[in-house]
Amino acid sequence: LQSLDGTGKLSGKTVLVTAGGTQENIDPVRYIGNRSSGKMGYSIAEAALKENARVILVSAPTSLDVPDGVEYVPVDSAEGMQEAVNSYYDTTDVVIMAAAVSDFRVANKAPQKIKKMETMTLELVKNPDILKGLGELKTHQLLVGFAAETEHVVEYGMDKVRRKNLDMLVANDVSKSNAGFNVDTNEGFFLYPNKEPKVMPNMQKSELARYIIGEVVELLASK
Ligand code: CTP
Ligand code: CA
C-alpha cells in the first residue's frame, strides 16, 4: 500500500468526496437514517486537501467540523446527494463515494407530522444508485467506491466494482467488531477491476484515508 503525507501530488486536480449517512424524510420531523458517522469521508477530504487538491465535500448531516479549505455542499437525502454530485461531475477528476446512501426512501412523505396509532406501515421505494449512474457516464473521472460487507467480502466487492464501473473499491469487512460503522478503524481489501486485491490491515480511518489518497495518486498516474 502507498501512503502520502502532504507533498502536493494532487495539485490541479478536483476531488469530490461524499460523506455521512443520507436521511430520508418520513414526515416533517422524522427520517430514516443509518449509523454512518462521516469520519471516513471527512478524513479522505483532509488527506486530499493535504495533497493540494481542490476538494468538494458533499455531505449528509454529521456531527463533524467541516475541514478548513473544502468546498462544503450540505445535503440530506440520496436524491439531494445525487443532484449535487452530478452537478460537479464534468469538472471533477476523482469521485470518492464514502457516503452511506440509503437504498430506500419513503414512497409518500407525509406533509404533516404523523399521529400515533396502533400499527403503521411505511412503503419504501428504491433510491437511485448515485455511483452506478456516475459509472455509466464516466469519461475521464476516477471512481472510488466503498462497501461494507459481513461475508464474501472480495466476491461481493468485485461484483460492485464491475456493476458500478469502478477504478477502486474499499471493501470493509464489518463482521469484525473493530471495523466499519461508528468505530474509528477499518479493515478489509482494496479491490480493482484488473489488478489483484490488496489487503487492508486494521487501521485508523485517518491513516486509511492517506492510503486511499496514495492509491488515487498512483491510479491517476497509470491512467
Ligand atoms: N451507493 C450509491 N448510491 C446508492 C447506494 C450506494 O452511490 N443508492 C454507493 C455507496 O456510496 C458506496 C457504493 O455505492 O460507495 C457501494 O454501496 P453499497 O451499499 O455497498 O452497495 P449497494 O449497491 O447499495 O449494494 P447492497 O447494499 O445491496 O450491498
Ligand atoms: Ca446499499
Each domain of the chain, given as residue ranges in start order, spans 14-221
Query: Under DSSP, is residue 98 helix (H, G, I), strand (E, B) or coil?
Result: coil
Span 33-62, average pLDDT:
97
Output the CA 8–ligand 2 centroid distance in Å: 34
The ligand minimizing its distance to the Cα of 21 is: 1
First vs last C-alpha separation in the chain? 18
The CATH number of domain 14-221, selected from 3.50.50.60, 3.40.640.10, 3.40.50.2300, 3.40.50.10300: 3.40.50.10300
pLDDT above 80 for 38: yes
Q: What is the ipTM, given to two decimal places?
A: 0.99
51 in Cβ contact with 12 (< 8 Å): no
pLDDT at res. 184: 82
- 52 counts as catalytic: no
- Residue 63 corresponds to which cell in the numbers above? 456531527
Ligand positioned closest to the Cα atom of 146: 1
pLDDT of 158 higher than 90: yes
For residue range 71-102, what is the model confidence (pLDDT) as tens digits? 999 999 999 999 999 999 999 999 999 999 99
Strand-pair category, 54-59 with 71-74 = parallel
What pLDDT, in 10s, does the model give residues 168-213? 999 999 887 666 666 788 889 999 999 999 999 999 999 999 999 9
Q: Which of 116, 100, 13, 5 is nearest to 62 (CA)?
A: 100
What pTM was estimated for this model as a whole? Answer: 0.96
Report the C-alpha gap between 132 and 105 in whole angstroms: 18
